[in-house]
Amino acid sequence: MQIIPANNASEWTGPTGTNTYLFTGAVPTLIDAGVGDPSHMAAVEEGLGGRALALLLITHGHPDHAGGVPALLERWPNARVRRVPLDPCRDGEAFCAGDTVLRAIHTPGHAPDHFCFLDEGTLDVYCGDLVRLGGTVVIPAHDGGNLADYLRSLRRIRALAPGRLFPGHGPAVDDARALIDEYVRHREERERQIEAALDSGCETPEAIVTQVYGDLSPALAPAAADTVLAHLAKLQQDGKAARTAAGWRRCAGAG
Ligand SMILES: [Zn+2]
C-alpha cells in the first residue's frame, strides 16, 4: 500500500492534504479520490506502473475525498467507483483490492454515508474522517453529522481490534484503541463542558463555542458551532437539553 497525498493542503485538510491509499497488485485500487490535482493524478499513475486503476473506494462524499472522481474516471474510464449515491458500498461487503481483501464498514457520524475499510489480512483500517492524530473530527449537524451515530461507529471500529488506522488526514495511527478511547473521552468531556455552558446561560451554539473552545481560528468557528449543535441534538435525544423559542436550555434527565 502506498500513501499518496492529494496535494490539497489547507487549514481543514492538513499540511499534506487528504491522504489517498493505493493498492497495487491483482486489483489496482485507490481509497479516496482527492480533488483531481494534476500532481496527485501523476503520482497515482506512477504508483500504478502502467496498470489501469480497477477500483476506487470512497470513504464519504465530502469534496476533499470524492472531488477527484471525475478526473480519475477520465484517466481510467473502466475503474469501478463505489460511492453514495450511484453505487454505494454495502455494510460488510468485501472487495478484492490489490492483493488483499477490504471489508466495507458503515460508520456514520461525521457523514451519513461514511465507510471505513478493514484490510482482512493486516486488520489495518482505512478510516476516512473517523479520527485523525493531533486533532478532532467535525460532526456537522447541518450536513448529516450525528454524534450518537459517531460514538457508535468509534466503538464498532474499536471492537474489531484493529491494527493501524490510516486516516484521511495526517499520519498513520499505531495504537488504534488508545486513540479511539481518547476520542470517546474527549466527546464525553465536551458534553460536560456544553452542559456547564448551558448552566451558565449560553443559549446558542455560537455562544457555547466562545465559552468552550476559547480562541479559535475564525475559519474553524462555524464548524465548531455545527459540532456543538450535534452535541446539543444528542443531549436533546438523551432528555438532558431542550430547544425553546428563547434558545437552548438544560433540563433534568428522566433518570
Ligand atoms: Zn469529511
CATH number at 18 reads: 3.60.15.10
> Omega into 218 within 30° of 0, i.e. cis?
no
Catalytic machinery residues: 64
What is the distance in A from the centroid of ligand 1 to the CA of 113? 10
For residue 25, the CA-to-ligand 1 centroid distance in Å is 28
CA of 244 to the centre of ligand 1 (A): 31
Q: Are 107 and 183 in contact (CB under 8 A)?
A: no
Does residue 119 sit within a domain?
yes
Write out the three cell numbers for 53: 486503476
| 169 Cα to the center of ligand 1, angstroms | 10
Q: How far is the CA of 50 from the centre of ligand 1 (A)?
A: 31
- Give residue 165's domain range: 2-189
* Residue 16 burial class via C-beta count within 10 angstroms: exposed 0-12, middle 13-18, buried 19 and up: middle
Residue 194 has which C-alpha cell? 456544553
Residue 123 domain flag: yes
Taking the CB of residue 193, how many other CB atoms lie within 10 A of it? 16
- For 210, residues 6+ apart whose C-beta sits below 8 A from its C-beta are none
> Does any domain span residue 71?
yes
CB of 97 closer than 8 Å to CB of 90? no
pLDDT (tens digit, 9 = 90+) per residue, 9-59? 988 788 889 999 999 999 999 999 999 999 999 999 999 999 999 999 999
**Is residue 222 in some structural domain?**
no
Which run of H or of E encompasses 230?
A: helix 221-237
Q: How far is 114 from 132, CA to CA, in rounded Å?
A: 15
Query: 226 C-alpha to center of ligand 1: Å?
Result: 14
Query: Looking at the domain assignment, is residue 237 inside a domain?
Result: no
Within a domain: 250 = no
Q: pLDDT digits over 58-105, tens only?
A: 999 999 999 999 999 999 999 999 998 889 999 999 999 999 999 999
Domain total of the chain: 1
More confident residue, 222 or 11: 222
Which pLDDT tens digit goes with each residue over 112-169?
999 999 999 999 999 999 999 988 899 999 999 999 999 999 999 999 999 999 999 9
Q: How many angstroms is it from 63 CA to the middle of ligand 1?
A: 8
What's the pTM value of the predicted model, to 2 decimals? Answer: 0.93
CB contact set of 50 (below 8 Å; sequence gap of 6+): none
β 115-119/100-106 pair status = antiparallel
CB of 183 within 8 A of CB of 157? Answer: no
Task: State the DSSP string of 93-132.
Answer: -EEEEBTEEEEEEE--SSSTT-EEEEETTT--EEEETS--
List the grid coordinates of 175.
495504537
Domain annotation covers residue 239? no
Report the pLDDT value the prediction gives residue 216, as an integer from 0 to 100.
86
Mean pLDDT of 193-197: 97
What's the CA gap between 72 and 230, in Å, rounded?
Answer: 34
234 within some domain: no
Residue 32 Cα to ligand 1 midpoint, Å, equals 11
Are 149 and 108 a contacting pair, CB within 8 Å? yes
